[in-house]
Each structure stands twice: as structure tokens, then as C-alpha cells.
């Protein structure tokens, strides 16, 4: 490769894990498989304790070529260091980036990132993600340099602490960021990555910054709902810029609309939280402005149908459709992707097409997520 640069090849938005009595871990290995979107000759990792209230220590970390599950090739394994040290302590609210690691990865291979937590660790900085490329593993004991033992391991969809994997790669390569809430924390970014990877010569990494429950305008301060994530004005300054990222798709706002129900029904969801169209559009303009300030093109994604969701009401759907109309005419954005059109019923625009509904009338089915990915203009994957 003649000219190289750092590009984010994988990422997740570190948010707040649900508080549980068993919210600490000790003597466990976490393993995260990363499908390489393109080749690289160096790798670096970022660990993030942004939402923790205590310091955490990564005892040891490795990277290796893996099988996408528990296994790794021990002959293609390398230790990860931090300023020359094998371990790193990350204070509450801080991040730690590894040293540059000379390690060859080829397009389509799986890079397995493994790290060991030896001492009691607050498992608070985390995010739940799903999709065909988003399964991860944890195991009791220190197994960062070998296959995770079947009887002491379990798969899950929580990503703890690991927020970014960067590749030093050909300068033609770049990253497209999918930003949003639970709909983006679920399958469609993975489906888009599979579409990009199927191209004969792929130069686009599909990376994700999404957390379930997130709203544009507000966030919860109560223990019951704090895992619903951070508002945009806190998320953007922390999550960006990202190396090599030149485009962002913003698909967020539905939680702002469906959450408020009044304190008589839920003391944490007052009617005062119900946004106006102007407040929502101003919030999206903030996101667009932030993206532009980091040199990224910003595309908006329309909000999906909600008829049948437990807090559905005609006034909420009217606001959703008004916001969608605003998005499609927003001159400040670089474009709008009509995800709503891709999954909605042809006879009732307030509802999903049956085959695109997961059953909760808020999140798409597996087919619905594929249709969302297919709605992304091909030129964004060039």
C-alpha cells in the first residue's frame, strides 16, 4: 500500500449498562470478533470507561485471527500494549488507546479482540448490539491466548469497554457511521456491512454509534432508566471525531416521541418531555452541524412506523410523520434516506408491512432490517 491512514474499522457507542446487583465481574475473558472490511498492516484499540463511576483495569489484551466464535489462530496472535505495558487502568469517564500494533489483517478475515479482567471490575460502560456480525463471547478465567473453553464460555451481545478498532490501511478506505438508538443498535448496520463487503473492491467500513433507548433531546437520571443512554449533546462530543469517517447516517428521534406518558402513569416520564417539531428538528440540526464540524457528510434517516406500539397515539404518529417530512426537505443535511418507506405498509403508512414487523410494532424484523440496509444509496458505499 503506497499511502496509508488510520480508519475506524469497527466501533460501538459506549453507553450505560443496566444496573443489576451482580454488576461486577472478576476473572473473566471477553472476546469480540471483528470482520475486517479491508486489509491493514497495523491495528490499534480504544477502551472506554466513559459511563463508569470507578476505575477499571484491563489486565491483559490480545488480538488474533479468529473463527468468528470462540476460536483463534494461536500462530497469528499478538499482545496489545499501552505505552509499552501489558495492562492499563482507565479512570472513570476516561478512555485509553493502545499502542500501534504491527499486525497484518486481510479483507474478510476475522480479527478477534480478547481481554482479561483479573480483578473486580464495575461493568458499567457498555452497550447492547445485535446483528449477524455482532455476537461476542465471555469466559471464566484467563483465555486471551487460546480458544475459549466450551464448558466455561457463553455468547452474548453486550460490548464492554471496547469502543473502537482502527486499521492502518490504504488511503482510499473510509468509514461510514450509523448513529442512533436501539433500531441502529440492532441489525441494519451489520446488514449494510455485508452489502459493502460483497462488493468486488470494498473501501467502506460500516461502524456503529448507537445505544438502546437514546433520545436526541433528553436522558434519564434515575436508576431505573439510566441504561437508556445519553442525549446527543453529550454523545457527539465524546463519540466523534473518528479516524477515516467521512459520512454519518443519523436515525434517531422516535424515543423522544414515544417515551412521555405523564407522571400519573410513570413518575420518570413527564409530559414536559414531549418535544415539539421545532425542538426535534433543532436537535437534528445540532447533530448535522456537529458532523459537518468533523468533516463528515450527514444523512438523515426517517423514523419508522409505530402503530401498535404500547404508547401509540395519533398525535405521536402525526409528529413522527411531520418530522419525516422535515427531514426529506432539510437543506442543511447532505441527503435523507427514507427508511420509513422501506418497511411501512402500502395501505397504512402508520404501520409496518407485516413481514417487516418484529412483533413489537417498533423494531423491524430481520427482513425489515435488510430492507433498511438496502435503502442506503449505493454511492455511500463507494
324-349 pLDDT, tens digit each: 999 999 999 999 999 999 999 999 99
Residue in this structure with the C-alpha cell 499502542, named with its chain if needed: 99
Q: What is the distance between the terminal CA atoms of the chain, rounded to a whole angstrom? A: 19
Across the range 51-67, mean pLDDT stands at 97
Distance separating alpha carbons of residues 206 and 4, to the nearest angstrom: 19
Instruction: Decide if pLDDT at 61 tops 50.
Output: yes
State which H helix or E strand residue 153 sits in: strand 153-156
Torsion angle, alpha carbons of 367, 198, 69, 63, to 10: -140
Residue in this structure with the C-alpha cell 422516535, named with its chain if needed: 254
User: Does the pTM of the predicted model rise above 0.85?
Assistant: yes
Instruction: Decide if pLDDT at 3 tops 90.
Output: no
- Looking at per-residue pLDDT, the higher value among 21 and 167 belongs to 167
List the beta bridge partners of residue 42: 102, 168
Distance separating alpha carbons of residues 82 and 60, to the nearest angstrom: 10
User: Domain residues of the chain, as ranges?
Assistant: 4-166, 173-381
SS3 state of residue 141: coil
CATH of domain 173-381: 3.40.50.1110
211-253 confidence digits (pLDDT tens): 999 999 999 999 999 899 999 999 999 999 999 999 999 999 9
221 Cα distance to chain centroid: 22
Q: Which three cell numbers stand for residue 382?
A: 463507494
Across the range 69-91, mean pLDDT stands at 97
Phi then psi for residue 103, to 5 deg, are -160, 125
Amino acid at each position: 500500500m503506497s499511502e496509508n491512514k488510520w480508519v475506524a474499522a469497527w466501533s460501538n457507542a459506549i453507553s450505560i449498562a443496566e444496573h443489576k446487583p451482580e454488576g461486577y465481574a472478576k476473572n473473566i475473558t471477553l472476546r469480540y470478533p471483528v470482520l475486517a472490511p479491508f486489509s491493514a498492516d497495523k491495528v490499534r484499540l480504544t477502551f472506554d470507561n466513559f459511563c463508569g463511576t470507578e476505575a477499571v483495569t484491563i489486565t491483559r489484551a490480545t488480538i488474533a485471527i479468529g473463527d468468528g466464535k470462540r476460536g483463534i489462530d494461536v500462530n497469528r496472535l499478538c499482545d496489545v500494549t499501552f505505552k509499552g505495558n501489558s495492562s492499563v487502568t482507565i479512570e472513570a469517564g476516561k478512555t485509553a488507546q493502545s499502542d500501534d500494533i504491527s499486525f497484518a489483517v486481510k479483507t474478510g478475515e476475522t480479527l478477534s479482540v480478547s481481554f482479561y479482567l483479573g480483578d473486580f471490575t464495575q461493568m458499567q460502560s457498555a452497550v447492547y448490539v445485535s446483528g449477524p456480525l455482532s455476537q461476542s463471547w465471555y469466559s471464566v478465567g484467563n483465555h486471551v491466548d487460546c480458544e475459549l473453553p466450551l464448558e466455561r464460555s457463553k455468547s452474548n451481545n453486550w460490548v464492554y469497554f471496547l469502543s473502537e478498532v482502527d486499521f492502518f490501511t490504504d488511503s482510499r478506505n473510509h468509514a461510514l457511521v450509523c448513529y442512533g438508538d436501539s433500531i441502529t443498535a440492532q441489525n441494519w448496520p451489520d446488514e449494510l456491512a455485508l452489502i459493502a463487503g460483497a462488493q468486488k473492491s470494498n473501501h467502506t467500513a460500516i461502524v456503529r454509534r448507537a445505544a438502546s433507548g437514546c433520545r436526541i433531546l433528553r436522558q434519564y437520571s434515575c436508576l431505573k432508566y439510566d441504561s437508556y443512554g445519553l442525549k446527543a449533546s453529550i454523545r457527539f462530543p465524546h463519540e466523534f471525531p473518528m479516524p477515516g469517517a467521512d459520512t454519518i447516517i443519523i436515525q434517531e428521534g422516535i424515543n423522544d416521541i414515544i417515551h412521555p406518558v405523564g407522571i400519573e402513569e410513570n413518575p420518570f416520564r413527564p409530559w414536559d418531555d414531549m418535544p415539539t417539531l421545532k425542538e426535534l428538528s433543532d436537535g437534528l440540526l445540532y447533530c448535522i452541524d456537529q458532523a459537518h464540524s468533523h468533516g463528515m457528510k450527514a444523512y438523515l434517516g426517517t423514523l419508522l412506523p409505530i402503530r401498535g406500539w404500547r404508547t401509540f397515539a395519533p398525535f405521536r404518529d402525526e409528529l413522527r410523520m411531520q418530522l419525516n417530512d422535515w427531514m426529506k426537505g432539510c437543506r442543511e443535511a447532505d441527503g435523507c434516506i427514507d427508511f420509513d418507506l422501506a418497511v411501512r405498509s402500502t395501505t397504512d403508512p402508520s404501520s409496518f408491512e407485516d413481514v417487516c414487523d418484529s412483533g413489537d410494532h417498533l423494531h423491524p424484523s430481520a427482513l425489515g432490517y435488510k430492507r433498511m440496509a438496502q435503502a442506503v444509496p449505493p454511492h455511500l458505499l463507494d
